[in-house]
Amino acid sequence: MAKADALVKMRNVYKQFGGIRAVEDMSIDIHEGEVLGLLGHNGAGKSTLIKILSGAYPIDSGEIVIGGEQADIQNPRDAKAYGIETIYQTLALADNLPAPANIFFGREIRTRFGALDEAAMEHAAIKVMKRLNPNFKNFHEAVSNLSGGQRQSVAIARTLQFNARIIIMDEPTAALGPHETQMVADLIQNLKKEGMALVMISHDLHDVFDLADRITVMKNGRHVWTGRVQDTDKDEVLQMIILGKLPDGSYAPGIVSEDAA
Ligand SMILES: Nc1ncnc2c1ncn2[C@@H]1O[C@H](COP(=O)(O)OP(=O)(O)OP(=O)(O)O)[C@@H](O)[C@H]1O
Ligand SMILES: [Mg+2]
């Protein structure tokens, strides 16, 4: 079960690019041991909101509270120091290298003589992969030869190795087949069991209903609705995404009724 108080609270967040109001007055909570699904049309502001948390964009105004304390996130390094890691759709893996080298890429373990400590990295890689994907055996294979789900587990293992506690996933199941999607679902279950706080951006309502515990819907940079998946259904959520219309027929603050047009 998720703890009562959220690990991450983003409050009244605003972000503008020139004249474009990408995010306006957005607030979300991210709990440990839980997946928050972030939904909305193209341009709704999902990536911008999450990039503020990962330090890719500085916040214009609003606040971020992590573990009860005000967080100052100016850049990706600050975010990593708070245990925030992002897994982008591209995964950012070095294709020609095997899993251990990818997990430790840029943060290699060296012997006291300065040489790469391949044995130590492989040992650590096996340990971290076991937590995520016990069936994974291809530690000597270049990651380009791995399946989509296996590549996803390597990317996640990389974040776990460096003490992530908040993991942001942008479209983790896009372009994966059913078997691979199931593998990612299993990975996410394992991360939840470990008490990670997860945020998942997705366009796939089906996956969100399968994987998320709660969902937040955005439209035109603003908050439409947040609630538990069991308290809504796909038709209601689709209406919120497209029209910004709540199940009771009303509209969230700042959302302009398209019926009125
Ligand atoms: N770096 C940027 N410079 C200028 N405008 C931007 C920038 N990033 C995002 N925007 C604009 O901000 C708005 C929100 O974009 P954002 O990428 O956050 O939406 P999204 O919900 O992630 O959409 P998608 O589902 O297409 O990924 C859009 O109008 C977009 O064009
Ligand atoms: Mg996006």
Instruction: List pLDDT tens digits, range 214-238.
Output: 999 999 999 999 999 999 999 999 9
Tell me, what's the pLDDT at 257? Answer: 65
- Exposure string of 171-189, with b = 16+ CB inside 10 Å and e = fewer, is bbbeebeeebbebbebbbe
33-42, 44-53, 132-141: the lowest-pLDDT one: 132-141
Which ligand has the minimum distance to the alpha carbon of residue 15? 1
Residue 11 binned pLDDT confidence (cut-offs 50, 70, 90): very high
**Cα separation, 65 vs 70, whole angstroms:** 4
Q: Which residue has the higher pLDDT, 163 or 83?
A: 83
CA 219 to ligand 2 centroid distance, Å: 12
Pocket test of ligand 1: the residue of 17, 54, 223 to mutate, having most ligand atoms within 8 Å of its CB, is: 17
User: What pLDDT was estimated at residue 2?
Assistant: 47
> Per-residue pLDDT averaged across 243-261, rounded?
78
Distance CA(129)–CA(208), nearest Å, equals 24
Name which residue leads in pLDDT, 199 or 175: 199
State the pLDDT at residue 93. 87
pLDDT mean over 123-129: 93
Query: Which of 70-84, 89-103, 108-122, 201-215 bottoms out in mean pLDDT, i.e. has the lowest?
Result: 89-103
pTM for the full predicted model: 0.89
Reply yes or no on whether the pLDDT at 20 is more than 60.
Answer: yes
The pLDDT value given to residue 201: 94
The answer to whether residue 88 scores a pLDDT higher than 80 is no
Q: Which of 38, 72, 43, 32 is nearest to 55 (CA)?
A: 72
Closest CA to ligand 1's atom 31: 43
Choosing from 10, 46, 48 the residue with most ligand 1 atoms within 8 A of its CB, the one to mutate for a pocket test is 48
> Mutate which of 13, 14, 15, 20 to test ligand 1's pocket (most atoms within 8 Å of Cβ)?
20
Please name the residue whose Cα sits nearest to atom 8 of ligand 1: 48
Q: Name beta bridge partners: 169.
A: 87, 200
Mean pLDDT value across residues 18-46: 96
Q: How confident is the model at residue 63 (pLDDT cuts 50, 70, 90)?
A: very high
The stretch 127-152 carries a mean pLDDT of: 90
Q: How far is the CA of 45 from the centre of ligand 1 (A)?
A: 6
pLDDT of residue 1: 47
Q: Which residues line ligand 1 (CB under 6 A)?
A: 17, 20, 22, 40, 42-48
Domains and CATH numbers, the chain: 8-94+164-243 (3.40.50.300)
β-pair partners for 17: 20
State the burial class of residue 169 (Cβ atoms within 10 Å of its Cβ: 0-12, 13-18, 19+).
Answer: buried
Give mean pLDDT, residues 145-155: 89
Ligand 1 atom 4, closest CA: 17
* pLDDT at residue 71 tops 80: yes
In the chain, what percentage of residues exceed pLDDT 90?
A: 68
